[in-house]
């Protein structure tokens, strides 16, 4: 898990408690994206969870309000290899973005899409690196992390 967290923090360039400095030359959209990602890290964490009780897309839609920021479901072994779905909960992203940009603002959808695309790519790539590093499947890694989280003192 530490490998995954370090990789994501390095890529995002954000740390818990860090502030985004706004210089005259800073791109406002990029600064806002970084602020939203910082808030997501602080408020929702970056740990993906394996969700074994999602059967299909319709089931996913009915449960999305209760899912974490990152989740994995539907892992199966096929003739072509391992198959699974890595998801990012857009409702969680919206819940943070709304603090900085009202949903009716013309740039809200654009910002949300950019943030989701960046978060998904980096988190997915980090999980895949962790899988290769440990030679385990996403489900195995996420179940180990869950055991570690529940067995360690808070």
Q: Whole-model pTM above 0.75?
A: yes
pLDDT in tens, 68-107: 999 999 999 989 989 999 999 999 999 999 999 999 998 8
Q: State the total domains in the chain.
A: 1
Closest CA to 33 of 111, 98, 107: 111
Query: Which residue, chain included where needed, has tokens 């900085």?
Result: 100
What residue numbers bound the domain in which 124 lies? 2-7+30-149
Strand order in the sheet with 49-50: 49-50, 70-78, 81-88
**Where is average pLDDT lowest: 66-70, 109-113, 148-152?**
148-152
Three-class SS of 41-67: HHHHCCCCEECCCCCCHHHHHHHHHHC
Residue 136 located in a structural domain: yes
pLDDT in tens, 125-151: 989 998 999 999 999 999 987 776 655
pLDDT, residue 1, reads 56
């Amino acid at each position: 898990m530490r490998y995954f967290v370090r990789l994501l923090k390095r890529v995002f360039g954000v740390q818990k408690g860090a502030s985004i400095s706004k210089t005259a030359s800073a791109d406002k959209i990029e600064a806002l994206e970084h602020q939203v990602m910082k808030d997501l890290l602080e408020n929702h964490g970056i740990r993906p969870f394996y969700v074994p009780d999602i059967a299909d897309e319709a089931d996913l839609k009915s449960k999305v309000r209760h899912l974490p920021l990152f989740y994995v479901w539907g892992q199966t072994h096929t003739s072509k290899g391992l198959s699974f779905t890595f998801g990012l909960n857009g409702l969680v992203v919206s819940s943070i973005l709304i603090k900085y940009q009202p949903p009716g603002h013309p740039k809200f959808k654009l910002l949300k899409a950019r943030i989701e695309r960046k978060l998904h790519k980096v988190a997915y790539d980090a999980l895949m690196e962790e899988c290769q590093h440990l030679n385990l499947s996403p489900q195995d890694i996420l179940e180990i992390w869950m055991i570690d989280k529940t067995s360690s003192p808070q």
